[in-house]
Amino acid sequence: MKPPGKSAKTGAIRVWIAADAPEPTAFAANELACILSEALGIRIAVARDPAKAKHELSLGSQAGSPPSRSSPVGDGFVIEPREKEVVVSGASGAAIVHGVYRLLRQVGAGMSLDGRLFAPQLKGSFPWSLAAERFEPAFARRAFVSDIMTYHYEEPDLFASRLKEDRKFIAWMGWQGINRFFYIRHARDSRARIDELAPALRERGIGAEYGGHVLQLLLERERFTCTPELFPMGSNGRRNAQGNLCASNPAAIEVVCRNALSYVRDHPDNRLFHVWGADVREGAWCACAACARLSPQLQYMAVVNAVARGVAQANEAVEVAYLAYHDTIEADPRLKPDSNVCFEWAARERCYRHAIDDPRCSVNRFYWEALRRYVDLFHGNGHVFEYYADAVLFSGLGFGTPAVVERDLRAYRRAGVNGISCLTFGAYSILAYPINLIAFAANSLSPASKSWHAASEAAAERHAESALLMERAYRHIDRASKLVLSYGDVFRVDRIPQRLVPAKRKALLAAAANFDHAVQAAEQAEPTECAPLHRAEIWLWRYGAETLRALADYLQAFRDNGADRSSRAHRALGVLESAFSHIRAIAPQAKGVWGEIDLESLHKRWLAALRRRSDLET
CATH of residue 300: 3.20.20.80
Identify the DSSP state of 239: B
Burial bucket for residue 45 (CB in 10 Å: 0-12, 13-18, 19+): middle
pLDDT band at 563 (very low <50, low <70, confident <90, very high): low
Domain contains 456: no
Where a domain ends, among 116, 135, 154? 135
- Identify which of 282, 230, 235, 296 has the alpha carbon closest to the alpha carbon of residue 259: 230
Give the integer Cα–Cα distance in Å for 129 and 133.
12
Q: Say which range, 164-173, 264-273, 445-454, 566-575, has the weakest mean pLDDT.
A: 445-454
Lowest mean pLDDT among 145-154, 173-182, 441-450, 503-512: 441-450
What pLDDT, in 10s, does the model give residues 410-440? 999 999 999 999 999 999 999 999 999 999 9
- How confident is the model at residue 505, as a pLDDT? 95
pLDDT in tens, 470-479: 999 999 999 9
pLDDT at 528: 63
The pLDDT of residue 567: 85
Q: Are residue 476 and residue 384 in the same domain, yes or no?
A: no
Whether 516 and 565 map to the same domain: the answer is yes
Q: 459 in a domain, yes or no?
A: no
If you average pLDDT over residues 307-324, what whole number do you get?
95
Residue predicted with more confidence, 531 or 324: 324
Shared-domain flag, residues 476 and 413: no
Higher pLDDT, 517 or 450: 517
For 460-470, how does the pLDDT look when each residue is reduced to its tens digit (9 = 90+)? 999 988 999 99
DSSP 62: S
Asked if residue 422 belongs to a domain, the reply is: yes
In percent, the amount of the chain with pLDDT more than 90 equals 81
Identify whether 584 is part of a domain: yes
From 93-107, 140-154, 573-587, 600-614, the region with the lowest mean pLDDT: 600-614
Query: What's the CA gap between 608 and 597, in Å, rounded?
Result: 18
| CATH number, domain with residue 37 | 3.30.379
Domain-located, residue 491:
yes
Any domain includes 298: yes
Q: Indicate the pTM of the whole model.
A: 0.95
pLDDT exceeds cutoff 60 at 8: no
Taking only the tens place, the pLDDT of each residue in 506-517 is 999 999 999 999
Amino acid at 507: A
Q: Tens of pLDDT along 582-593?
A: 999 999 999 999
Mean pLDDT of 566-572: 88
Domain-ending residue, one of 86, 114, 135: 135
Same domain, 369 and 272: yes
Once rounded to an integer, what is the mean pLDDT over residues 377-381? 97
Sequence-separated contacts (24+) of 128-132 with Cβ below 8 Å: 130/79, 130/81, 130/86, 130/103, 130/106, 131/79, 131/81, 131/106, 132/79, 132/80, 132/81
What pLDDT, on the 0 to 100 scale, is given for residue 19? 94
pLDDT digits (tens, 9 = 90+) for 264-298: 999 999 999 999 999 888 769 999 999 999 999 99
Q: How large is the average pLDDT for residues 120-125?
A: 83
Q: How far is residue 105's CA from residue 99's CA, in Å, rounded to a whole number?
A: 10
Whether 274 and 292 map to the same domain: the answer is: yes
Does 124 share its domain with 168? no
Query: Are residues 155 and 126 part of one domain?
Result: no
Q: What is the pLDDT of residues 230-273, one digit of tens each?
A: 999 999 999 999 899 999 999 999 999 999 999 999 999 999 99
- Would you say residue 396 lies in a domain? yes
Q: Is the dihedral of CA 87, 90, 443, 435 positive or negative?
A: positive
Domain extent for 108: 10-135
Q: Where are the beta strands (DSSP E) in 276-374?
A: 319-324, 341-345
Of the candidate ranges 171-175, 180-184, 453-457, the one whose mean pLDDT is the lowest: 453-457
Q: Does 563 lie in the same domain as 587?
A: yes
Residue-averaged pLDDT of the chain: 93
Residue 589 vs residues 153, 162, 593, 595: alpha-carbon distances, Å: 18, 10, 8, 9
Q: Is residue 453 part of a domain?
A: no
Mean pLDDT value of segment 25-45? 94
Domain end call among 417, 446, 475: 446
Q: Which of 353, 610, 595 is nearest to 488 (CA)?
A: 353
pLDDT at 498: 86
Count of domains observed in the chain: 3
Question: Which of 72-81, 172-181, 411-420, 607-616 has the least mean pLDDT?
Answer: 607-616
Q: How confident is the model at residue 7 (pLDDT cuts 50, 70, 90)?
A: very low
Is 389 in the same domain as 307?
Answer: yes
Q: How far, in Å, are 90, 203, 231, 308, 485 from residue 135 at the CA level?
A: 10, 21, 49, 33, 34
List of residues 6+ apart from 167 with CB closer than 8 A: 115, 197, 200
Please tell me whether residues 224 and 361 are part of one structural domain.
Answer: yes
Q: Are residues 104 and 30 in the same domain?
A: yes
Q: Are residue 19 and residue 150 in the same domain, yes or no?
A: no
Would you state the pLDDT for residue 464?
Answer: 86
